[in-house]
Structure 1
Amino acid sequence: MSADATFEKFDPATGAVITTYKNFSQAEVFAAVGAAGLAAIRWNEFGFTARKRVLLKWASYITNNQKEIANLVATECGKPIGDASLEVSISIDNLAWAAKHAQQIMSKQVRPSGLLMFNMKAQVQRSPLGVVGVIGPWNYPIFTPMGSIAYALAAANAVVFKPSEFTPGVGKWLADSFAQIAPFENILTTITGLPDTGRALTQSKVNKVSFTGSTRTAKKVAASCAEQMIPVVLECGGKDPVIVAHDADIKLAAEYALWSAMANAGQSCIGAERVYVVESVADEFIETIVDMAKKIKPGQSYGPATMPSQLNVIQSHLDDAKAKGAKFLLGGSDSIKGAFVEPVIMVDVPEDSLAMTDETFGPTLAINKVMNTDEAIKLSNASSYGLAAAVFSKREGEKIASKLACGMVSINSVFLFAAIAAVPFGGVKDSGYGRIHGAEGLLEYTYARSVVKTRFKIPLRFTTFKRTKLSEKILTLLIKKLYGRRK
């Protein structure tokens, strides 16, 4: 690949070329990581207070230029400007939270040394990894990668960011904006390019990779990183359920479930894709949500499919559901109109259909009736995914939530765990592993170092060739006294 290689960025609604971006070669990626490695040493030496000042200044810069970046997000994704602005706002909040809490969360901890080692001082220190490679998605091109970038930077790492080829401008804007306030170069670098650029990042000398995208691609990223012994954070897809209990606020449940499923054209890994509603309230819920959905207008309420190939996935799911007997209450297998997908609501969808097992990533919603919440929980957990869920119940929300096999649950709400910077974001099973956001998100980009120190000498010495039989006898008796009497 030549040094001046480029690729085109297309308008998701029209397919017209918007502009071109640099397509970084493997050699250029390796060089960027090498430069970041040197910057990481200086950034770590900068100290918590100075890093906090820089990151908060960056948050201020993004805030003061929010309209500019929101317009870029809207243009590259095709989403409404209001959705783009909301995404930017939540991103800024995460950046500020990470900056303010890094020192406290990474502070060294004194641990009890126990009776056997009573003369020792024990502590755990947290150190940055060095260079973190972040591979971002196209559906939320600033919010999602910021959950890795901000926390990695706050933890004293340098970052090399590879944005999606569908939203390269947002990634470039982030690095350019940080450069406006950075104390020196290469703390945050953006490398734009096609999939080979991301692959090169996983083959470089980065110390960790944080990836967001499909489960299929995540497995390839993990496999590539494994060859280099690079640890990974994987935030993958979901088939997120909504449970509507008998005591739910039906209008609220319908309103939120609909928004969760349709917002951003359904292109949300934490968006609702299937609803399990208890029979006693099912008819009311279905009638309410269908009436609400009829008012949604593609091109106004949400934009086009950002990635054209996703339209084939959506079509295959709709065709499969129809063939297996699902009933369409709104829309149907003919709901794809060019780059846009009209709202689709299905009921009585077989659990083995693609619309219930695989991530659709479109403005579609499958609704099935259940006898009770126990059945809803069982069906929710039967999925190979385990990212997020929503529960609507006036009295049993927390009880139901505690039984769901997923990383995040909203009770009588949707999405809001993503807007609370203090709580971790991530999933289980095919939805990935590792966490961004919160204390857990900061610690993801550090490693633990155990340090023990002799406080005072004692006659008993165990780690020497001069160890005596008396020492061994005392150790054995002490262990027996501490733990041998339990039955």
Structure 2
Amino acid sequence: MTQTEHRQRTDDAAAQVETTAQVEAAAEAARSAARWWDVQGFRGRRGWLRDFARVLARGADELAGVIARETGKPDDDALLEVMLAVEHLDWASRNAKRVLRRRSVRSGVVGIDQAASVGYRPYGAVGVIGPWNYPLYTPMGSIAYALAAGNAVVFKPSELTPGVGEWLARAWQSLAPPQPVLQVVTGDGAVGAALCRAGVDKVAFTGSTATAKRVMATCAESLTPLVAECGGKDAMLVAADADLDAAAEYAVFGGLGNAGQTCAGVERIYVADGVFDEFVAAVTARVRAVRAGTDYGPMTMPAQAEIVRAQIADALRGGGRALVGGEDSTQGRTIEPVVLTGVAPDSTAATDETFGPVLVIEPVADLDEGVRRANASRYGLGASVFTADADAGRAVADRLDCGVVTVNSVLGFAGVPALPFGGTGDSGFGRIHGDDGLREFATVKSMTVTRFATPLKLMTMRRRRRDVRVARIMLRLRHGR
């Protein structure tokens, strides 16, 4: 697809805007549908969701085509996105009962007369606001888990990729459900704000940190809970004993895949000084073989190209060196790969999310320094560690201030539905995927049922002195010795 065709597609898509009244009507319909969906139970919902997954799998090529047209990414990348989304949908439907069913917990000595249990109830209607970089895979991490937990969903895709949301809505409607359990509303940020104010019971947002703050402020008006998956400035650490060829291969994939438009991709690389030159040579050789427009597509959001160019310029003005590409690598929405080194620590290329095909590589004395520099960021989403010593890699990974870490690979968590995904700091809060992702879309309900009369009657306004004396003795014997 040419840049002109891509621009026309996104301009046309952005014009499809729902009114506030339509968004409110969708939220009201979702609240009603949620009651029906809840009654289906775990088994009934699993059947519907497995049928939904089957429709997505059978229409994978068509859906991938929509993703490729709207984002500009290669067809193979779009198909991989569909595959990952279906896997998460399948996992959520199969595991919801195990994670969310009511379970017994120990009552303890004081509450020995009570049968105690914990259960989970769906919120009701959940609003999902999706991004444009992975317009299917990322929001499906909220949609699938919210549906499996028993909620109805109103999905607002990015205004740059509305066709993906519309395709999903048609796919769900093809199952002929009697209630609008999954609805789609399209439009820009105003529609997202309307969805937050429409009375949904929870909002799941994926996007930039700046936008997340505006969404959070809007949700705060009605105390609507929010899960926010925001940006990252993800670091890779390379030890002196690492397999440098493998590390270089992963660095290029993590940094340039999807034109660098991956929140948990690779943006900063800290390499042990003794192998720095060798690693840089391996990376630059691979980067020079990558072709923008073929191996990856253009910037999906028009303004992103200028953000990337400005960061490159800032790095070079501050004394950084371009090992591959440079400021002139930006041609319209398409950006040729760029590799920088010697970038000042306060440069925007080192501190701000780039979201473009740019790698910043710097030498460090050892992994300890690498950890310190990786953690010196307001973001805390993803990271990766490369070392021949897997135990050392795990130890380093535990010290990194982020939500997901891979050892000797990048983005390994994306294909593991059981792993929760999310970050800290400016990367957001809450989790999608895995057991925690299912619980994110359910409220906790604790319950006790009296199973026998206790000999000590302390829960009364007419306590006997004998019961208090016995309770005091029990306290000392149990905790005071």
Same fold (TM over 0.5): yes
Are 1:77 and 2:71 counterparts?
yes
Read off the aligned partner of 2:256 and give its amino acid letter: M
Is the contact between residue 235 and residue 427 of structure 1 (CA under 8 Å) also seen in structure 2? Answer: yes
Q: How does 1:116-155 map to 2 (within 5 A)?
A: 116-155=110-149
2:403 aligned residue: 407
Q: How does 1:231-270 map to 2 (within 5 A)?
A: 231-270=225-264
Measure the CA separation in 2 of the matches of 1:32 and 1:210. Answer: 16
Q: CA deviation at 1:473?
A: 2.4
Q: Cα gap change, 1:397/1:282 in structure 2, threshold over 3 Å: closer, same or farther?
A: same
Q: Cα gap change, 1:11/1:60 in structure 2, threshold over 3 Å: closer, same or farther?
A: farther
Q: How does 1:283-302 map to 2 (within 5 A)?
A: 283-302=277-296
**Among 418, 423, 427, the residue aligned to 1:427:** 423
Measure the CA separation in 2 of the matches of 1:14 and 1:179. Answer: 28
**Among 328, 335, 338, the residue aligned to 2:322:** 328
SS at match of 1:92: helix
Q: CA deviation at 1:402?
A: 1.1
**Among 262, 266, 269, the residue aligned to 1:272:** 266
Measure the CA separation in 2 of the matches of 1:26 and 1:476. Answer: 61
**Among 103, 113, 136, the residue aligned to 2:107:** 113
Q: Cα gap change, 1:141/1:397 in structure 2, threshold over 3 Å: closer, same or farther?
A: same
Are 1:30 and 2:4 counterparts?
no
Is the contact between residue 179 and residue 185 of structure 1 (CA under 8 Å) also seen in structure 2? Answer: no
Measure the CA separation in 2 of the matches of 1:363 and 1:58. Answer: 35
1:467 aligned residue: 463
Measure the CA separation in 1 of the matches of 2:196 and 2:477. Answer: 52
Is the contact between residue 305 and residue 332 of structure 2 (CA under 8 Å) also seen in structure 1? Answer: no
Measure the CA separation in 2 of the matches of 1:117 and 1:11. Answer: 67
Structure 1, 476-485 or 111-120: larger mean CA deviation: 476-485
Matched-pair identity in %: 45
1:219 aligned residue: 213
Read off the aligned partner of 2:134 and give its amino acid letter: Y
1:7 aligned residue: none
Measure the CA separation in 1 of the matches of 2:4 and 2:204. Answer: 26
Q: TM-score, normalised by structure 1?
A: 0.96
SS at match of 2:77: helix
Measure the CA separation in 2 of the matches of 1:169 and 1:332. Answer: 34
Q: CA deviation at 1:138?
A: 0.1
Q: CA deviation at 1:26?
A: 1.3
Structure 1, 12-21 or 175-184: larger mean CA deviation: 12-21
Q: How does 1:328-367 map to 2 (within 5 A)?
A: 328-367=322-361
Measure the CA separation in 2 of the matches of 1:443 and 1:244. Answer: 35
Instruction: Kindly report the root-mean-square deviation, in angstroms, between the aligned alpha carbons of the 2 structures.
Output: 1.3
Q: How does 1:20-59 map to 2 (within 5 A)?
A: 20=13, 22-59=16-53
Measure the CA separation in 2 of the matches of 1:462 and 1:353. Answer: 64
Measure the CA separation in 2 of the matches of 1:342 and 1:458. Answer: 74
Q: CA deviation at 1:108?
A: 1.0
Read off the aligned partner of 1:119 and give its amino acid letter: D
Q: CA deviation at 1:349?
A: 1.1
1:67 aligned residue: 61
Measure the CA separation in 2 of the matches of 1:210 and 1:182. Answer: 26
Measure the CA separation in 2 of the matches of 1:352 and 1:222. Answer: 28
2:452 aligned residue: 456
Is the contact between residue 240 and residue 270 of structure 1 (CA under 8 Å) also seen in structure 2? Answer: yes
1:311 aligned residue: 305
1:6 aligned residue: none
SS at match of 2:240: coil
Is the contact between residue 209 and residue 427 of structure 2 (CA under 8 Å) also seen in structure 1? Answer: yes
Q: Cα gap change, 1:66/1:14 in structure 2, threshold over 3 Å: closer, same or farther?
A: closer
Measure the CA separation in 1 of the matches of 2:162 and 2:72. Answer: 14
Measure the CA separation in 2 of the matches of 1:250 and 1:296. Answer: 19
Is the contact between residue 12 and residue 77 of structure 1 (CA under 8 Å) also seen in structure 2? Answer: no
Residue by residue, what CA displacement relative to the aligned partner does 1:367-397 show, whole Å, maximum 9, x if unpaired? 0000000000000011110000111111021
1:168 aligned residue: 162
**Among 82, 88, 96, the residue aligned to 1:88:** 82
Read off the aligned partner of 2:373 and give its amino acid letter: L
Q: CA deviation at 1:17?
A: 4.3
Residue by residue, what CA displacement relative to the aligned partner does 1:191-222 show, whole Å, maximum 9, x if unpaired? 00111000011112111100000001101111
2:393 aligned residue: 397
Measure the CA separation in 2 of the matches of 1:17 and 1:30. Answer: 27
SS at match of 1:272: coil
Is the contact between residue 162 and residue 186 of structure 2 (CA under 8 Å) also seen in structure 1? Answer: yes
Q: Cα gap change, 1:317/1:270 in structure 2, threshold over 3 Å: closer, same or farther?
A: same
Give aligned pairs, total: 476
Measure the CA separation in 2 of the matches of 1:352 and 1:142. Answer: 35
Read off the aligned partner of 1:474 and give its amino acid letter: V
Is the contact between residue 152 and residue 158 of structure 1 (CA under 8 Å) also seen in structure 2? Answer: yes
Residue by residue, what CA displacement relative to the aligned partner does 1:214-244 show, whole Å, maximum 9, x if unpaired? 0011011111111111111000000000001
2:480 aligned residue: 484
Are 1:191 and 2:185 counterparts?
yes
SS at match of 2:35: helix
Measure the CA separation in 2 of the matches of 1:480 and 1:26. Answer: 62
Read off the aligned partner of 1:350 and give its amino acid letter: A
Q: Cα gap change, 1:14/1:22 in structure 2, threshold over 3 Å: closer, same or farther?
A: closer
Q: CA deviation at 1:11?
A: 6.2
SS at match of 1:125: strand
Are 1:379 and 2:373 counterparts?
yes
Residue by residue, what CA displacement relative to the aligned partner does 1:305-330 show, whole Å, maximum 9, x if unpaired? 00011112111111110110001000
Read off the aligned partner of 2:352 and give its amino acid letter: D
Q: CA deviation at 1:458?
A: 2.1
